[in-house]
Chains A and B, each alone.
Chain A
């Protein structure tokens, strides 16, 4: 099977449409017959990364590559970058503003969740330039 490629634009600061890309990928994987556990892990990891782009980075782009044995999700933004990745990866660390916290975000659990549900997580970030997450989930 040739890998299937899907691409999405994620609108920054739009909390109503946030999650649409993740929902579309979840629906596609389900239709293709991927195991329920794989679909759920992709959905959770991708949603957390998608919502981070909305909250912290004014949106960005998502490219998903679906292979029979793995799913690779690349999320790229032109946001502020992450000054300290080790700190950002810690459970409970969050710089989410108050208005976002009132929606239920800002627990500082998003990046740890991505790590937990993926098989590989790579973060490339440069201050003032942007952040790219590459999430790999094996089937």
Chain B
């Protein structure tokens, strides 16, 4: 499933689409960055409420193509710019983390 297909299937709002073709292979939900970088598998969507720029850096290192921001939290401009520069997609979910994961789990 591509990031655009994931957004459409789950009702997430695309904030930035980096790579239309990158497959989303799974998901990993956590707000602590060292758990994310150490445990998320390559290709996973990162489900989090953290919006600072380090979330993008971690996604790049761990090769997570897409960040799903829960609870309608919005990324700051620095984060958004880094996402554009580094090719990481950002989607916005209006729901809390658990419900966001449930939605992803249904379609993946």
Contacts and interface: CB of A to CB of B under 8 A. Distances in A.
B37 A16 contact: no
Contacts of A110: 34
Contacts of A105: 32-34, 54
A111 to B, nearest CB: 9
Chain B interface size range:
20 to 34
Given A103-B52, A107-B35, A109-B34, A47 B63 contact: no
Given A44-B38, A113-B38, A107 B33 contact: yes
Contact of A112 (B38, B50, B52): B38
Interface residues of A, number: 26
Contact of A47 (B32, B61, B78): B61
Interface in A92-123: 103-110, 112-113, 116-117
Interface in B39-64: 42, 50, 52-55, 57-58, 60-63
A58 interface: no
B60 to A, nearest CB: 6
B30 to A, nearest CB: 9
Nearest to A20: B57
A67 to B, nearest CB: 21
Contacts of A104: 31-33, 50, 52, 54-55
Contacts of A44: 37-38, 61-62
Interface in A1-32: 15-16, 18-19, 22-23, 26
Given A16-B78, A44-B38, A26 B54 contact: no
B86 interface: yes
A23 B32 CA distance: 20
A46 to B, nearest CB: 8
Given A36-B63, A44-B61, A116-B38, 6 more contacts: A19-B61, A22-B61, A40-B61, A103-B50, A106-B32, A109-B32
Interface of B: 31-35, 37-38, 42, 50, 52-55, 57-58, 60-63, 78, 86
